[in-house]
């Protein structure tokens, strides 16, 4: 066997190295060709993502809170990703956050970390890569509630000291913010009110300079406000009651009565005004045989010693329409919602209710089928003008009430009564004195009451 010489050994190694180099070069060239093909088919894209990524807070210690509102912080990111990944990106694929774990009170510069769900997407840069955060201890304290009345009542009326519930609230938040709060303010608009105003108002924390304080919470966040409203002495606002006489022609009914103005202001001595029952009547309006709308300018009948602030005439429009069935009935008002310990005096014993509906139902109406409700829920002692609410059977329509508003005087009951404020019962009843004053028959379904009535209808 021939011996292998050193020269032949070197030749073999040289050939092996050359073959390995050729193989490696082939692999590199193949990889380059593959990358070029892939890049042409799904090229890499680099650029700024179109939407801002919201930043969340992690790791905040118990009893600590950022002074700033970090809920609105966002960052922009520059990405590099294949087109297929880029085209499918949504805002939900990103997570941007700051980690406040282990940080104590004070000001800190905290890095913003942005992560993306797709591993083929690279985050190259983040705008605002860090946020300056001031961390403070959470504190709370009690502050009073103040009511600010922002406008005024109607002319001739004054508002009294507002009543507020609750009178104090708890303010909670970063200590530096809580210490600035001196009062919780509820702003109330009266909007030319003539009766007491009730509002549930959102509270705003303010400092001693009456500037809003941010980043604090109040418990409760709202307050219930009642602003009493009283009329000036020597003045009294009353409803106008139209004095209707007669009945429309057969087959027609009185549908609405409109008065302009519907209320007037009376001037006089306190004793004389106290005797006025909450309304004044007009001259009579004759409805007999009417088939069309009636328009009149009528004089008001006011007691001696009383004058009307803006003149003694009103414009009255009585609408007469053909009907299938209609009636005007007279009902005693039913008091509802009066608080315990109070009693109410209504200016009118009865109200005229204009009804329409199927004639058989109208003919069968009884005294306990229609109710005129005066809802006094939450009203305080004093004079109030209340809009009546009619409750009637389903197929009967209440076209209006005369007068459209009723004066109610609420006073404190002199003798305690265990049952005070509990009227009416859950199922209201009408006094037996309530009577149907309209004449109903097939020949004259729209007959209106011949008794005097007044006020415009809602």
Over residues 278-298, the pLDDT tens digits come to: 899 999 999 998 988 999 999
C-beta separation of 263 from 280 below 8 A: no
Percent of the chain clearing pLDDT 70 (strictly above): 86
C-beta separation of 71 from 98 below 8 A: no
Q: What is the pTM of this model?
A: 0.57
Q: Give me the pLDDT at residue 6, please.
A: 65
Q: Give me the pLDDT at residue 444, please.
A: 36
What separation in angstroms does the CA of 389 have from each of 302, 319, 334, 365? 27, 21, 10, 18
**Does the structure show a pLDDT above 80 at 430?**
no
- How far apart CA 151 and CA 136 sit, in angstroms, is 39
Average pLDDT over residues 390-398: 90
Q: Give me the pLDDT at residue 3, please.
A: 54
Q: Give me the pLDDT at residue 447, please.
A: 35
* Structural tokens at position 331: 């009902």
Q: Give me the pLDDT at residue 15, please.
A: 73
Predicted confidence (pLDDT) per residue in 85-102, tens digit: 888 899 999 999 999 998
- How far apart CA 216 and CA 171 sit, in angstroms, is 6
* Structural tokens at position 372: 């005129």
- How far apart CA 54 and CA 19 sit, in angstroms, is 56
- How far apart CA 185 and CA 192 sit, in angstroms, is 21
**Does the structure show a pLDDT above 90 at 27?**
no
User: Which span out of 60-64, 207-211, 317-321, 445-449 was modeled with the highest average pLDDT?
Assistant: 207-211
Q: Give me the pLDDT at residue 4, please.
A: 54
Q: Please, which pLDDT band fits residue 314 given cuts at 50, 70 and 90?
A: very high
Please list the alpha-helical segments (H only) found in 217-369: 270-275, 359-363
Q: Please, which pLDDT band fits residue 415 given cuts at 50, 70 and 90?
A: low
């Amino acid at each position: 066997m021939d011996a292998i010489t050193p020269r032949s050994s070197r030749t073999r190694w040289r050939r092996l190295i050359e073959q390995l180099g050729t193989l490696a070069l082939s692999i590199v060239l193949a990889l380059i060709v593959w990358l070029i093909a892939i890049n042409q088919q799904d090229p890499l894209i680099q650029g700024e993502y179109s939407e801002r990524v919201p930043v969340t807070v992690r790791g905040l210690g118990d009893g600590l809170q950022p002074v700033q509102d970090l809920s609105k912080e966002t960052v922009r990111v520059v990405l590099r990703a294949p087109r297929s990944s880029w085209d499918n990106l949504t805002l939900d694929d990103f997570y941007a956050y700051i980690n406040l774990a282990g940080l104590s009170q004070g000001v800190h510069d905290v890095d913003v970390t942005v992560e993306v769900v797709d591993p083929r997407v690279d985050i190259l840069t983040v705008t605002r890569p860090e946020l300056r955060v001031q961390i403070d201890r959470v504190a709370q304290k009690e502050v009073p509630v103040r009511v600010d009345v922002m406008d005024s009542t109607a002319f001739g009326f004054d508002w009294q000291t507002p009543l507020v519930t609750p009178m104090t609230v708890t303010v909670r938040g970063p200590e530096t913010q809580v210490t600035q709060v001196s009062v919780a303010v509820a702003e109330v608009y009266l909007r030319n009110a003539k009766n007491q105003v009730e509002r549930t108002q959102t509270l705003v924390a303010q400092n001693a300079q009456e500037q809003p304080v941010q980043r604090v919470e109040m418990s409760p966040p709202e307050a219930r406000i009642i602003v009493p409203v009283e009329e000036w002495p020597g003045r009294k606002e009353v409803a106008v009651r139209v004095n209707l006489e007669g009945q429309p022609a057969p087959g027609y009914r009185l549908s609405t009565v409109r008065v302009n103005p519907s209320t007037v202001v009376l001037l006089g001595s306190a004793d004389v005004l106290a005797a006025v029952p909450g309304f004044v009547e007009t001259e009579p309006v004759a409805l007999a045989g009417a088939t069309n709308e009636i328009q009149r300018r009528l004089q008001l009948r006011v007691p001696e010693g009383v004058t009307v602030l803006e003149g003694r005439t009103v414009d009255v429009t009585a609408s007469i329409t053909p009907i299938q069935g209609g009636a005007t009935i007279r009902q005693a008002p039913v008091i509802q919602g009066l608080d315990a310990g109070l009693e109410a005096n209504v200016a009118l014993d009865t109200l005229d209710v204009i009804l329409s509906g199927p004639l058989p139902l109208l003919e069968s109406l009884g005294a306990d089928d229609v109710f005129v409700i005066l809802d006094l829920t939450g009203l305080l002692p004093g004079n109030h003008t209340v809009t009546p609410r009619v409750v009637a059977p389903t197929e009967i329509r209440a076209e209006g009430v005369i007068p459209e508003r009723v004066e109610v005087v609420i006073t404190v009951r002199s003798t305690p009564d265990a049952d005070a404020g509990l009227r009416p019962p859950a199922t209201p009843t009408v006094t037996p004195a309530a009577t149907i004053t309209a004449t109903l028959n097939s020949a004259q379904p729209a007959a209106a009451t011949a008794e005097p009535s007044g006020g415009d209808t809602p």
